[in-house]
Amino acid sequence: MNHDLNSIPLGRETPYPAHYDPSLLFPIKRQRVIPQNIEVIGFDFWRGYEMSWLQPNGLPKVGMIKITVPFDSPFMTESKSLKLYLNSFNQEKFNDDSALIAQIRTDISQAVGATVAISMLSANQFNTEVIDEPLTSGNTPEVNIDDSLQLFETYTPDANLLHCDPQQPTIAESLFSRLLKSNCPVTNQPDWASVHIRYEGHPIDHDALLAYIVSFRQHQGFHEHCVETIFADVMRVCQPKRLSVYARYTRRGGVDINPWRATQGFEPPSLMRSAQQ
Protein backbone atom coordinates (compact mmCIF):
# COMPACT_ATOMS: atom_id res chain seq x y z
CA MET A 1 0.00 0.00 0.00
CA ASN A 2 1.12 3.55 -0.68
CA HIS A 3 1.86 5.48 2.54
CA ASP A 4 3.31 8.58 0.86
CA LEU A 5 1.36 11.66 2.04
CA ASN A 6 1.98 13.24 -1.38
CA SER A 7 -0.44 10.62 -2.74
CA ILE A 8 -3.12 11.24 -0.14
CA PRO A 9 -6.63 11.64 -1.67
CA LEU A 10 -7.59 14.31 0.85
CA GLY A 11 -7.71 17.74 -0.75
CA ARG A 12 -7.77 16.35 -4.30
CA GLU A 13 -10.56 15.95 -6.80
CA THR A 14 -11.15 12.20 -6.67
CA PRO A 15 -13.64 10.19 -8.74
CA TYR A 16 -16.07 8.05 -6.81
CA PRO A 17 -15.45 4.32 -7.31
CA ALA A 18 -17.86 2.32 -9.45
CA HIS A 19 -16.96 -1.00 -7.82
CA TYR A 20 -15.62 -2.41 -4.56
CA ASP A 21 -11.95 -1.49 -4.16
CA PRO A 22 -10.04 -2.12 -0.89
CA SER A 23 -6.94 -0.45 -2.34
CA LEU A 24 -8.68 2.91 -1.80
CA LEU A 25 -7.83 2.72 1.92
CA PHE A 26 -4.87 5.01 2.61
CA PRO A 27 -2.92 4.08 5.77
CA ILE A 28 -0.99 6.79 7.62
CA LYS A 29 1.74 5.74 10.03
CA ARG A 30 0.88 6.65 13.60
CA GLN A 31 3.04 9.11 15.47
CA ARG A 32 2.60 8.43 19.16
CA VAL A 33 2.61 11.73 21.04
CA ILE A 34 2.17 10.29 24.54
CA PRO A 35 5.49 9.36 26.20
CA GLN A 36 6.23 5.64 26.14
CA ASN A 37 6.58 5.48 29.93
CA ILE A 38 2.85 6.26 30.36
CA GLU A 39 0.67 3.16 30.11
CA VAL A 40 -2.34 4.08 27.98
CA ILE A 41 -5.57 2.47 26.87
CA GLY A 42 -7.92 3.73 24.18
CA PHE A 43 -9.28 3.52 20.67
CA ASP A 44 -10.36 5.54 17.65
CA PHE A 45 -14.10 5.14 17.10
CA TRP A 46 -15.39 5.96 13.61
CA ARG A 47 -18.93 6.21 12.31
CA GLY A 48 -19.62 6.02 8.57
CA TYR A 49 -22.98 7.50 7.60
CA GLU A 50 -22.70 6.93 3.83
CA MET A 51 -23.03 3.14 3.86
CA SER A 52 -25.06 1.37 1.20
CA TRP A 53 -24.94 -1.95 -0.68
CA LEU A 54 -27.21 -4.21 -2.71
CA GLN A 55 -29.25 -7.21 -1.64
CA PRO A 56 -29.20 -10.30 -3.87
CA ASN A 57 -32.34 -9.05 -5.67
CA GLY A 58 -30.65 -5.72 -6.43
CA LEU A 59 -32.60 -3.69 -3.88
CA PRO A 60 -30.28 -1.27 -2.02
CA LYS A 61 -29.85 -1.25 1.73
CA VAL A 62 -28.45 1.51 3.91
CA GLY A 63 -26.87 1.47 7.34
CA MET A 64 -24.43 3.20 9.66
CA ILE A 65 -21.08 1.45 9.97
CA LYS A 66 -19.22 1.66 13.29
CA ILE A 67 -15.48 0.99 13.37
CA THR A 68 -13.26 0.72 16.44
CA VAL A 69 -9.53 0.89 15.72
CA PRO A 70 -6.98 0.08 18.48
CA PHE A 71 -5.07 3.22 19.49
CA ASP A 72 -1.77 1.38 19.13
CA SER A 73 -2.30 0.03 15.62
CA PRO A 74 0.76 0.72 13.44
CA PHE A 75 -1.34 2.76 11.03
CA MET A 76 -4.51 4.82 11.02
CA THR A 77 -6.74 5.33 8.00
CA GLU A 78 -7.04 8.68 6.25
CA SER A 79 -10.67 9.83 6.43
CA LYS A 80 -11.37 10.60 2.77
CA SER A 81 -9.92 7.28 1.71
CA LEU A 82 -12.30 5.57 4.15
CA LYS A 83 -15.21 7.54 2.66
CA LEU A 84 -14.25 6.44 -0.87
CA TYR A 85 -13.73 2.85 0.26
CA LEU A 86 -17.15 2.67 1.94
CA ASN A 87 -18.79 4.15 -1.15
CA SER A 88 -17.16 1.47 -3.29
CA PHE A 89 -19.75 -0.97 -1.86
CA ASN A 90 -22.67 0.94 -3.38
CA GLN A 91 -23.13 -1.46 -6.32
CA GLU A 92 -21.91 -4.65 -4.63
CA LYS A 93 -24.31 -7.49 -3.76
CA PHE A 94 -24.13 -9.35 -0.45
CA ASN A 95 -26.24 -12.29 0.64
CA ASP A 96 -26.48 -10.91 4.17
CA ASP A 97 -25.13 -8.12 6.36
CA SER A 98 -22.66 -10.38 8.13
CA ALA A 99 -20.79 -11.03 4.88
CA LEU A 100 -20.45 -7.27 4.30
CA ILE A 101 -19.26 -6.67 7.86
CA ALA A 102 -16.70 -9.48 7.58
CA GLN A 103 -15.29 -7.99 4.37
CA ILE A 104 -14.98 -4.51 5.87
CA ARG A 105 -13.34 -5.92 9.01
CA THR A 106 -10.78 -7.80 6.91
CA ASP A 107 -9.93 -4.82 4.69
CA ILE A 108 -9.57 -2.18 7.41
CA SER A 109 -7.68 -4.55 9.74
CA GLN A 110 -5.18 -5.16 6.95
CA ALA A 111 -4.86 -1.43 6.27
CA VAL A 112 -4.17 -0.41 9.89
CA GLY A 113 -2.14 -3.50 10.82
CA ALA A 114 -4.39 -4.55 13.70
CA THR A 115 -7.76 -6.23 14.24
CA VAL A 116 -10.61 -3.73 14.23
CA ALA A 117 -14.14 -4.17 15.57
CA ILE A 118 -17.02 -3.58 13.16
CA SER A 119 -20.75 -3.28 13.76
CA MET A 120 -23.65 -2.07 11.64
CA LEU A 121 -26.70 -0.07 12.62
CA SER A 122 -29.41 -1.00 10.14
CA ALA A 123 -31.99 1.46 8.84
CA ASN A 124 -34.74 0.03 11.05
CA GLN A 125 -32.54 0.75 14.07
CA PHE A 126 -31.87 4.41 13.29
CA ASN A 127 -34.53 5.56 15.76
CA THR A 128 -32.59 3.87 18.57
CA GLU A 129 -29.65 6.26 18.15
CA VAL A 130 -29.76 8.52 21.19
CA ILE A 131 -28.16 11.94 21.25
CA ASP A 132 -26.09 12.02 24.43
CA GLU A 133 -25.24 15.56 25.52
CA PRO A 134 -23.39 15.99 27.79
CA LEU A 135 -21.45 12.74 27.83
CA THR A 136 -22.51 10.21 30.44
CA SER A 137 -19.61 9.55 32.82
CA GLY A 138 -20.79 7.34 35.65
CA ASN A 139 -21.95 9.08 38.79
CA THR A 140 -19.81 12.17 38.23
CA PRO A 141 -21.79 14.88 36.39
CA GLU A 142 -19.95 16.68 33.61
CA VAL A 143 -19.16 20.35 34.11
CA ASN A 144 -19.30 22.66 31.08
CA ILE A 145 -16.25 24.96 31.22
CA ASP A 146 -17.13 27.11 28.18
CA ASP A 147 -18.25 30.26 30.03
CA SER A 148 -15.36 32.56 30.88
CA LEU A 149 -14.66 36.30 31.13
CA GLN A 150 -10.89 35.94 30.75
CA LEU A 151 -8.93 37.32 27.80
CA PHE A 152 -8.15 34.79 25.06
CA GLU A 153 -5.28 35.57 22.72
CA THR A 154 -3.38 32.29 22.16
CA TYR A 155 -4.46 30.17 19.21
CA THR A 156 -1.62 27.69 18.87
CA PRO A 157 -1.24 24.88 21.43
CA ASP A 158 0.51 26.06 24.58
CA ALA A 159 0.75 23.70 27.55
CA ASN A 160 1.99 26.61 29.68
CA LEU A 161 -1.62 27.81 29.80
CA LEU A 162 -2.58 24.83 31.96
CA HIS A 163 -2.61 25.24 35.73
CA CYS A 164 -3.50 23.08 38.70
CA ASP A 165 -3.14 23.65 42.44
CA PRO A 166 -0.92 20.99 44.08
CA GLN A 167 -1.71 22.47 47.50
CA GLN A 168 -5.34 21.38 47.22
CA PRO A 169 -6.55 17.85 48.02
CA THR A 170 -7.15 15.53 45.09
CA ILE A 171 -10.59 15.38 43.52
CA ALA A 172 -12.40 13.40 40.80
CA GLU A 173 -13.89 15.64 38.14
CA SER A 174 -15.48 15.38 34.68
CA LEU A 175 -15.20 18.44 32.43
CA PHE A 176 -16.21 19.18 28.87
CA SER A 177 -15.96 21.90 26.26
CA ARG A 178 -17.63 22.28 22.89
CA LEU A 179 -14.94 24.72 21.72
CA LEU A 180 -12.19 22.44 20.47
CA LYS A 181 -11.23 23.35 16.91
CA SER A 182 -8.21 22.30 14.92
CA ASN A 183 -7.40 22.27 11.22
CA CYS A 184 -6.70 19.43 8.82
CA PRO A 185 -2.92 19.24 8.26
CA VAL A 186 -3.47 18.52 4.55
CA THR A 187 -6.32 20.84 3.48
CA ASN A 188 -6.41 23.31 6.41
CA GLN A 189 -10.18 22.76 6.62
CA PRO A 190 -11.58 23.28 10.13
CA ASP A 191 -12.33 20.29 12.36
CA TRP A 192 -14.80 20.86 15.21
CA ALA A 193 -15.23 18.76 18.34
CA SER A 194 -16.41 18.55 21.88
CA VAL A 195 -13.70 17.33 24.26
CA HIS A 196 -14.39 15.44 27.48
CA ILE A 197 -11.78 15.23 30.22
CA ARG A 198 -12.07 13.08 33.32
CA TYR A 199 -9.35 13.02 35.93
CA GLU A 200 -8.46 12.25 39.52
CA GLY A 201 -5.83 14.55 40.95
CA HIS A 202 -5.17 18.06 42.18
CA PRO A 203 -7.83 20.49 40.91
CA ILE A 204 -7.27 21.73 37.36
CA ASP A 205 -8.11 25.40 36.89
CA HIS A 206 -11.14 25.49 34.57
CA ASP A 207 -10.33 28.82 32.95
CA ALA A 208 -6.76 27.68 32.32
CA LEU A 209 -7.97 24.42 30.78
CA LEU A 210 -10.41 26.30 28.54
CA ALA A 211 -7.65 28.65 27.38
CA TYR A 212 -5.52 25.61 26.55
CA ILE A 213 -8.34 23.96 24.56
CA VAL A 214 -8.98 27.21 22.66
CA SER A 215 -5.27 27.44 21.85
CA PHE A 216 -5.71 24.58 19.34
CA ARG A 217 -7.84 26.85 17.17
CA GLN A 218 -5.21 27.40 14.46
CA HIS A 219 -3.32 24.15 14.99
CA GLN A 220 -2.89 21.75 12.09
CA GLY A 221 -3.15 18.16 13.23
CA PHE A 222 -5.00 14.90 12.73
CA HIS A 223 -7.78 14.25 15.24
CA GLU A 224 -5.90 11.39 16.89
CA HIS A 225 -2.74 13.44 17.38
CA CYS A 226 -4.68 16.38 18.86
CA VAL A 227 -6.24 14.12 21.51
CA GLU A 228 -2.87 12.57 22.34
CA THR A 229 -1.31 16.03 22.64
CA ILE A 230 -4.03 17.12 25.09
CA PHE A 231 -3.58 13.93 27.09
CA ALA A 232 0.23 14.24 27.19
CA ASP A 233 0.19 17.94 28.15
CA VAL A 234 -2.34 17.52 30.97
CA MET A 235 -0.42 14.52 32.31
CA ARG A 236 2.89 16.40 32.25
CA VAL A 237 1.70 19.72 33.70
CA CYS A 238 -1.00 18.59 36.15
CA GLN A 239 0.23 15.05 36.90
CA PRO A 240 -3.19 13.55 37.70
CA LYS A 241 -3.37 10.07 39.19
CA ARG A 242 -5.78 9.09 36.44
CA LEU A 243 -6.79 10.80 33.20
CA SER A 244 -9.21 10.25 30.32
CA VAL A 245 -9.46 12.44 27.19
CA TYR A 246 -12.19 11.81 24.60
CA ALA A 247 -12.97 14.02 21.60
CA ARG A 248 -16.13 13.76 19.51
CA TYR A 249 -15.44 15.40 16.15
CA THR A 250 -18.21 16.64 13.87
CA ARG A 251 -18.61 14.48 10.79
CA ARG A 252 -16.88 15.52 7.59
CA GLY A 253 -17.33 13.66 4.32
CA GLY A 254 -19.88 11.35 5.90
CA VAL A 255 -17.49 10.21 8.65
CA ASP A 256 -16.99 11.28 12.25
CA ILE A 257 -13.92 10.36 14.31
CA ASN A 258 -13.87 9.96 18.09
CA PRO A 259 -10.42 9.26 19.61
CA TRP A 260 -10.14 8.20 23.28
CA ARG A 261 -6.97 7.97 25.37
CA ALA A 262 -6.87 7.13 29.08
CA THR A 263 -4.79 5.72 31.87
CA GLN A 264 -5.65 2.28 33.18
CA GLY A 265 -8.83 1.91 35.21
CA PHE A 266 -11.27 3.99 33.17
CA GLU A 267 -14.37 2.50 31.61
CA PRO A 268 -14.71 3.37 27.91
CA PRO A 269 -16.82 6.47 27.27
CA SER A 270 -20.31 6.43 25.84
CA LEU A 271 -20.23 5.99 22.08
CA MET A 272 -23.47 7.84 21.54
CA ARG A 273 -23.51 10.83 19.20
CA SER A 274 -23.38 14.39 20.48
CA ALA A 275 -25.76 17.06 19.18
CA GLN A 276 -22.84 18.44 17.10
CA GLN A 277 -22.43 15.16 15.26
Apex CA 194: angle with CA 69 and CA 240, to 5°?
A: 80
What is the residue type of 74? P
Find out whether 211 and 161 touch, Cβ atoms under 8 Å: yes
Residue among 44, 107, 191, 233 flagged as catalytic: 191
Distance CA 67, CA 257 (A): 10
Find out whether 51 and 63 touch, Cβ atoms under 8 Å: yes
Closest CA to 226 of 200, 267, 255, 258: 258
Distance CA 49, CA 272 (A): 14
Burial readout 22-38 (b: 16 or more C-beta within 10 A, e: otherwise): eebbbbbebeebbeeee
Neighbours of 130 (CB within 10 A): 9
Neighbours of 92 (CB within 10 A): 13
DSSP class of residue 15 equals P
Q: Clarify whether 146 is annotated catalytic.
A: no
Apex CA 171: angle with CA 228 and CA 266, to 5°?
A: 45
Residue among 184, 233, 238, 256 flagged as catalytic: 184
Closest CA to 254 of 116, 53, 64, 109: 64
Q: Clarify whether 191 is annotated catalytic.
A: yes
Neighbours of 180 (CB within 10 A): 23
What residues contact 13, with CB distance under 8 A and at least 6 apart?
Answer: none
**Structural element, H or E, at residue 209:** helix 206-214
Catalytic residues: 184, 191
